[in-house]
Amino acid sequence: MHLEEFNRIYQNELTPKQKKVLDLFLKGETDEQIAAQIDATHRSTTSHHLRNISRKFGSPPETEPDYRCKLVELFANYKPESVTLKALEKCDRALPKFRFPEGPEPLNSSFYLDRPTAEADSYAAILESDCLIRIKAPKQMGKTSLLKRILDRGEQHNYQTTYLNLSLFDRELLASKEQFLRSFAACIRGRLPAAPSLGEWDADTPIMVNCTAYFQQLLRGLEEPLVLALDEVDRLFEYPEIYQNFFPMLRHWHENANESETWAKLRLIVAHSTEDYGKLDLNQSPFNIGLPIRLDDFDLEKVRTLVMRHAIDSQVAEPLYQLIGGHPYLLRFALYHLARNRMPIQKLLKEATTDLGIYAQHLQRHLDILQSHRELGAFFSEITASQEPVKFEQKTKIIYQLESLGLIEIAGGALAPRYRLYREYFRDRLS
């Protein structure tokens, strides 16, 4: 079930009495307490209401514990503020499944927080024939999780979908534009069972023309649109020969949608971490057209929601927010340890900015990058040492790199460490 359907049922199909019963049930009240508050004469009335409510959200399981747990699970996922820890504890099955936080959040994850505007705009865009979505955010901010959900929405409309992470291309495949484009086409073909054979490409024809002709043939063979999601396209910015050909080709495909029914079947999504496009002419690229989606930190209310979904005391939300803001991955990592009772919040906060804390590996990885690129490290050292934001006149390559790593925040022509975690950890080590 998707959020829109859940909201429709909750708002339009439940009676006022059913909503009252449900509210009391999710607060952990007993059947007798609920029956008394709705002026019922017997506790079985509560079970009767809960079974009917469960039916409205889908056919209830046969046994009573099952449909009760189903309701708790459903509301813990879509309306977590309404579910108390007391209600969760009554149904062990409804307690969150604490998967180690790495990679994108699964589609059914209780720990994925909606970004309503980004999702609504993206879901609407892929229904348009001239769709091009650009998702920009530093690493580990949820780009891939959103990509997967856009693809899932496309599949609900019976679209063909395919996802390709360009960071997985080996260096030998990036040796030349010919090798890269042939490999790119082969990867897409391997993900689409109905795709035509690559065959032999004409050696006397420019490689971009060959690649374009292949994709045109592929689209002609599809009855429904194709959603093509390209993740980590920053990988190509290190290879001018490739990106100066590949990105103009993508733009050409997108612009053809206005004139060709075949190309109108293509919906493009590109995800990247930086706006440092090297020597790429933006007017010959996909980076200044289409729908821009920027993924920012969660606000404090979202952090509180995520804390509740981990069935943790809500008081941990504010100190975590002060340390790591609303960074999705850093929050999930801390809450994973707290939910698994790995350590108390006081110990986690005290050790977080040291090499003994839970973020040691994350911080060390950034430190290795900063120390191996001296100019980058020296500039960030200046930012962490300053008590006031550091002014700048225009963005430079160094600023773009720090922004891509997620180490700085930019506001009003000034730079500051993005989180207290980064200021305190890197200040001593880089000085």
pLDDT cut 70: percent of the chain above it: 94
> Could you give the CA distance from residue 272 to residue 404 in angstroms, rounded to a whole number?
9
- pLDDT score of 59: 60
Contact 94, 72 (CB under 8 A): yes
pLDDT score of 84 more than 50: yes
> Band of the pLDDT at 313, cuts 50, 70, 90?
confident
Which class does domain 116-294 fall in? alpha beta
In three-state secondary structure terms, 293 is strand
pLDDT score of 76 more than 60: yes
* Residues 166, 167, 172: CA angle, nearest 5 degrees: 90
- pLDDT score of 310: 84
pLDDT score of 35 more than 80: yes
**Which whole number is the average pLDDT over 15-34?**
89
Give the CA-trace dihedral at 55, 61, 66, 69, to 10 degrees.
-40
Phi, psi for residue 414 in degrees, rounded to 5 = -140, 155
**Which whole number is the average pLDDT over 79-87?**
74
Cα 144 to its chain centre, rounded Å, is 5
Helix spans in 312-359 (H): 317-324, 328-339, 345-351
Interhelix angle 3-12/64-78, rounded to 10 degrees, is 110
pLDDT score of 329 more than 90: yes
- pLDDT score of 68: 80
Q: For 43-86, what is the HEC assignment? A: CHHHHHHHHHHHHHCCCCCCCHHHHHHHHHHHHHHHCHHHCCHH
CATH of 361-430, one of 1.10.10, 1.10.8, 3.40.50, 1.10.287: 1.10.10
- 98-107, 135-144, 242-251: least confidently modelled range: 98-107
> Could you give the CA distance from residue 124 to residue 154 in angstroms, rounded to a whole number?
10
> Band of the pLDDT at 180, cuts 50, 70, 90?
very high
* Residues 123, 128, 129: CA angle, nearest 5 degrees: 140
**How far is the CA of 197 from the CAs of 186, 192, 250, 412, in angstroms?**
9, 11, 21, 52
- pLDDT score of 321: 97
Q: Which one-letter DSSP state was computed for residue 230?
A: E
Most confident of 79-83, 108-112, 183-187: 183-187
Q: Kindly write down the DSSP assignment for every residue of 156-221, as one continuous string.
A: HTT-EEEEEEGGGS-GGGGS-HHHHHHHHHHHHHHH-TTPPP--PPPTTS-HHHHHHHHHHHHHHT
> Band of the pLDDT at 187, cuts 50, 70, 90?
very high
**217 dihedral zone (left: phi>0; alpha: psi -120 to 50; beta):** alpha
**Domain extents in the chain:** 3-94, 116-294, 361-430
In a 13 Å sphere around the CA of 275, the CA atoms on its Cβ side amount to: 9
- pLDDT score of 285: 81
Q: Higher model confidence: residue 31 or residue 343?
A: 31
**Which whole number is the average pLDDT over 29-51?**
86
In a 13 Å sphere around the CA of 230, the CA atoms on its Cβ side amount to: 23
361-430 matches 116-294 in CATH topology:
no
Q: Which of 285, 267, 221 lies closest to 128, judged by CA? A: 267
- pLDDT score of 96: 54
Q: Higher model confidence: residue 86 or residue 221?
A: 221
**Which whole number is the average pLDDT over 329-355?**
89
- pLDDT score of 65: 57
Q: Which one-letter DSSP state was computed for residue 200?
A: P
Q: Which residues contact 36 (CB under 8 A, 6 or more apart)?
A: none
pLDDT score of 216 more than 50: yes
Neighbouring CB atoms inside 10 A of 101's CB total: 19
- pLDDT score of 63: 55
> Could you give the CA distance from residue 114 to residue 328 in angstroms, rounded to a whole number?
11
Provide Rg for the chain, Cα atoms: 25
* Residues 110, 83, 89: CA angle, nearest 5 degrees: 85
pLDDT score of 418 more than 50: yes
- pLDDT score of 27: 86
Q: Please tell us whether the domain made up of 3-94 is placed in CATH 1.10.10.
A: yes
**Which whole number is the average pLDDT over 155-172?**
92
* Sheet with 226-231, edge to edge strand ranges: 160-165, 226-231, 266-272, 132-136, 291-294
**Which whole number is the average pLDDT over 157-166?**
95
Taken in order 10, 15, 16, 18, the sign of the CA dihedral is negative
- pLDDT score of 424: 96
Cα 225 to its chain centre, rounded Å, is 23
Q: Which one-letter DSSP state was computed for residue 39?
A: T
Q: Higher model confidence: residue 305 or residue 227?
A: 227
pLDDT score of 33 more than 50: yes
> Band of the pLDDT at 170, cuts 50, 70, 90?
confident
- pLDDT score of 94: 46
**Which whole number is the average pLDDT over 44-68?**
77
> In whole numbers, what is the pLDDT of the chain averaged over residues?
88
> Band of the pLDDT at 69, cuts 50, 70, 90?
confident
